[in-house]
Amino acid sequence: MMLLSVDISMVLEKLLLIVVVISASLVIAMYTTFAERKVAAILQDRRGPNRAGPFGLLQPLADGLKLFFKEEIIPAFSSKFLFILGPALAMLTAMMTSAVIPWGGTIELFGRKIDLQIADVNIGVLYVFGVVSLGVYGIMIGSWASNNKFSLLGGLRAASQIISYELAMGISMIALLMVTGTLSLKEMVDLQQASYWNIVYQPLGFLIFLICAFAECNRTPFDLPEAENELIGGYHTEYSSMKLGFFLFSEYINMFISSVIMSTLYFGGYDIPFINEAAMFSPNVVAIIGIAALMAKTSFFIFVFMWVRWTIPRFRYDQLMYLGWRILIPLALFNMLATGGAVLYFK
């Protein structure tokens, strides 16, 4: 029974990593809400939250505390189990994606080599796609269970939007897979470290991926599921207290995770461009620099998410569908064919 003999220290190491990654992504999501308000303010010549703590840094804590102390309202005509399941599922799927992301290289502690990745699955990309697609169930179930027409409309929009854009995203992904020839995120980063970043080979694919990521995260210009001025609050109209908090929070975690995935897939993950850091420092330092590099790229993408949100208005629903089915999918298909041709030609 060698198959079941479990290395205890390995289990401990992975557990520790899970705790660190989950809490880190929660804290980052928390401060992303703060950053969102600050960025919005700065782009609009305002100051933003600056009252709670120095520079307003305690604002997310105050917001979270407020959400905890708000009255918990479950509408009488809702189906209670599903109503609670909705935000829980949204949060769960948002957190699950982080499992396959390589956060850094390898560090050596107590004579053990520890990979900074919870699970190096050889189908990492597929796992990410699967979990991201599950994310829409949280929204759909929550909106259905609310028994409210605005919620239902928001949920419907979310479902159709995510399904439409997932196709283009998947096809743009296939082109990338043809270039790299692997589904493991770790191997992708290694390949990018060895040669150029994937953005060099796949600029069009990245553009499609970026647009679809906006749609998947329900961010402006694709924030139709929660379009405040048409649907009150969209799918979370009936939600209050921490259940609302979970929905809002999962959006920010999704944003964080998709920024990480974009930097991992197209911008070399934890690779630092133009310098060979492995030759200069000890492995542990390299790993830490790598994490910092990944975080820097991620922060940039999060900023782009916000920057776009505070620049352009929302699409109309038919425009959204037109863009998804008539422009992005053909474009992604073209990109896939062109990449396939190029790969064949150069090999």
Partner 1 sequence: MQPLTNKIKQVDRKPMTFMEKLYLPAIFKGMTITFSHIFKKKPTINYPEKQRPFSPVFRGLQILNRDEEGRENCTACGLCAVACPAEAITMEAAERQQGEEHLYKEEKYAAKYEINMLRCIFCGLCEEACPKDAIYLSETFTPADYQRKQFIYSKDDLLIPHPKENPDAYQKALGNRPQKVSEN
**Which residues make up the interface to partner 1 (CB under 8 A)?**
42-47, 50, 307-308, 310-312
d(CA 201, CA 335) in angstroms, rounded, equals 11
Could you give the dihedral angle defined by the CA atoms of residues 147, 148, 149 and 150, in that order, rounded to the nearest 10 degrees?
-140
What are the C-alpha distances in Å from 335 to residues 172, 213, 339? 7, 17, 6
The answer to whether 158 and 89 have CB atoms below 8 angstroms apart is no
Choose between 296 and 312: whose C-beta lies nearer to partner 1. Answer: 312
d(CA 185, CA 123) in angstroms, rounded, equals 8
Choose between 47 and 112: whose C-beta lies nearer to partner 1. Answer: 47
d(CA 134, CA 144) in angstroms, rounded, equals 16
Choose between 23 and 44: whose C-beta lies nearer to partner 1. Answer: 44
Tokens of 9: 């220290």
CB of 262 to partner 1, least distance (A): 17
* Residues composing the chain: 347
CB of 45 to partner 1, least distance (A): 5
CB of 208 to partner 1, least distance (A): 12
CB of 39 to partner 1, least distance (A): 9
Choose between 119 and 308: whose C-beta lies nearer to partner 1. Answer: 308
d(CA 224, CA 133) in angstroms, rounded, equals 17
Q: Is the dihedral of CA 24, 30, 34, 36 positive or negative?
A: positive
In terms of Cα–Cα distance, which of 177, 35, 22, 36 is closest to 101? 22
Choose between 128 and 302: whose C-beta lies nearer to partner 1. Answer: 302
3-state SS, residue 43: helix
Choose between 242 and 308: whose C-beta lies nearer to partner 1. Answer: 308
Beta bridge partners, 107, equal 114
* Amino acid occupying residue 164: S
d(CA 29, CA 248) in angstroms, rounded, equals 10
What are the C-alpha distances in Å from 285 to residues 31, 107, 192, 281, 290? 26, 8, 20, 6, 8
CB of 43 to partner 1, least distance (A): 5
Choose between 48 and 155: whose C-beta lies nearer to partner 1. Answer: 48
Choose between 163 and 312: whose C-beta lies nearer to partner 1. Answer: 312
CB of 7 to partner 1, least distance (A): 50
Q: To which residue do tokens 């990521």 refer?
A: 213
CB of 47 to partner 1, least distance (A): 5
CB of 168 to partner 1, least distance (A): 15
CB of 16 to partner 1, least distance (A): 39
Peptide bond into 221 cis (omega under 30): yes
Choose between 45 and 71: whose C-beta lies nearer to partner 1. Answer: 45
Choose between 312 and 337: whose C-beta lies nearer to partner 1. Answer: 312
d(CA 33, CA 253) in angstroms, rounded, equals 10
CB of 311 to partner 1, least distance (A): 5
Tokens of 126: 């597929």
